[in-house]
Amino acid sequence: MEMINLTIDGIPVRVAKGATVMEAAKTIGIDIPALCYLKDVNEVGACRICVVEVERARSLQASCVLPAAEGMVVHTESPSVIAARKEILRLILDNHPNDCLTCDKAGECKLQEYAYRYDVKFREHDGDRKTARIDTSNPYIYRDDSKCILCGRCVSICGQIQERSILGFGNRGFTTHIIADNEKALGESACVSCGRCISVCPVGALLDNRIIGKARAWEAQKEEVKCKRCDYGCDFELLKKDDKVVGVRAKAPGGGRPLCLKGKLSLDLLYTNSPSAPLIKKDGEYTEVTWAEALEMEDLLKKLGQSNNL
């Protein structure tokens, strides 16, 4: 394997050819901030928070998509890098609600993490702001457009499943926002509520509607579980408060499998202390149904019932 030698923050690093500067930095324990970057899902260099200074380069470079090159000399926290990151954060915050007081993402929010790390606060301004557009049409996914930072992670992960590809970017410039199908409410779109988008959203724009208000990120104990509904075993997370499971949320798809609502509901029923009733779409409307129907086990239960009678 061809190896590349470079220097990051004065430390010599040796990585395989093809690795990005961000990956190279990670091998020596340097954590470069990333908002839009998500390995194998979204590698687009959109948010620019990961910029680094490369000696003799014309401008700051996005380290998440910059391949490490022989002899490169990189600075990840130089004054110009920090100034750029602060400015990026200020611009994002200028168009983001000051809502950490009650936001369900607080404590797990990447924007909050980096604003704290670089000491950037909300500022007063009389410029335009996005208007709050909260979409609660889907009972499983809470969508608040005003918190979206347009990183594109949700669009990418939704687009990885060809028959889904519900989410996309709509409009241009300041009015750019995430749309479902052709600007439909999520509940009216072809969305199957798999929760892939929720699992990757770095901010509070996409949340699991069934756990909102149940526990703050810092008071919930988390336990990872595998879904056993099918052979792929997607990763889910139990949220516990006072030793009671208050919710189950999708964490990551299993290899080759997309995450699905049936899996999520099965785990909800299996683990949650008092799970909310399941809803499935019938004639375009979300309707409350029995667990047997939601989990498609009616036939099986009927058969079991008959065999009991024998």
Partner 1 sequence: MVNLTINGIQFQAETGLTILQAARTQGIYIPTLCHDERLVAHGACRICVVEVKGARALMPSCSTPAAEGMVIETQSPTVVEARKEILRLMIENHPLDCLTCEKSGNCTLQNLCYEYDIKEGGFNGKKKNYPIDDSNPFFTYDPNKCILCGRCVRVDNELQCTGAINFIERGFNTHVGVAGDREFDDSVCVSCGNCVSVCPVGALMPKQPEKFRYWDIEKVRTTCSYCGVGCQMDLLVKNNKVVGVEPIDMEPNNGLLCVKGKFGYKFLNHPDRLRTPLIRKDGVLKEASWDEAMNLIASKIKDFKKESGPEAFGALSSARCTNEENYLMQKLFRAVIGTNNVDHCARL
Q: Which is nearer to partner 1, 193 or 208 (CB)?
A: 208
Handedness of CA 180, 182, 183, 186 (dihedral sign): negative
CA distance 95 to 175: 11
How many helices (H) and strands (E) the chain has is answered by: 8, 15
Applying CB under 8 A, which of residues 42, 76, 112, 189 lies at the interface with partner 1? 112
* Burial of 265: CB neighbours in 10 Å, binned 0-12, 13-18, 19+: buried
The residues, any chain, with a CB within 8 Å of residue 167's CB and separated by 6 or more, are 154, 155, 158, 159, 178, 179, 180, 197
d(CA 243, CA 250): 20
Smallest distance from the beta carbon of 159 to partner 1, in angstroms?
Answer: 31
CB of residue 200 to partner 1, shortest distance in Å? 20
**277 to 296, contacts with partner 1 by CB under 8 A?**
none
Q: Does 121 bind partner 1 (CB under 8 A)?
A: yes
Structure tokens belonging to residue 270: 């299996």
- Please list every residue from 43 through 102 that binds partner 1, using CB under 8 A: 93, 98-102
Please tell me whether residue 29 binds partner 1 under the rule CB under 8 A: no
Q: Between 100 and 289, whose beta carbon lies closer to partner 1?
A: 100
Rule CB under 8 A: say whether 246 interacts with partner 1.
Answer: no
Q: Give yes or no for residue 122 binding partner 1 (CB under 8 A).
A: yes
Of 120, 157, 227, 245, the residue at the interface with partner 1 (CB under 8 A) is 120
Given the structure tokens 């990757």, which residue do they identify?
200
**Min CB(204)–partner 1 separation in Å:** 12
Cβ count near 2 (within 10 Å)? 7
User: Does the footprint of partner 1 cover residue 119 (CB under 8 A)?
Assistant: yes
Residue 101 or 310 with smaller CB distance to partner 1: 101
User: How far, in Å, CA of 11 to CA of 8, rounded?
Assistant: 5
User: Which residues from 202-241 bind partner 1, rule CB under 8 A?
Assistant: 213, 216-218
- Residues of this chain that bind partner 1 (CB under 8 A): 93, 98-102, 106-107, 112-113, 115-117, 119-122, 213, 216-218
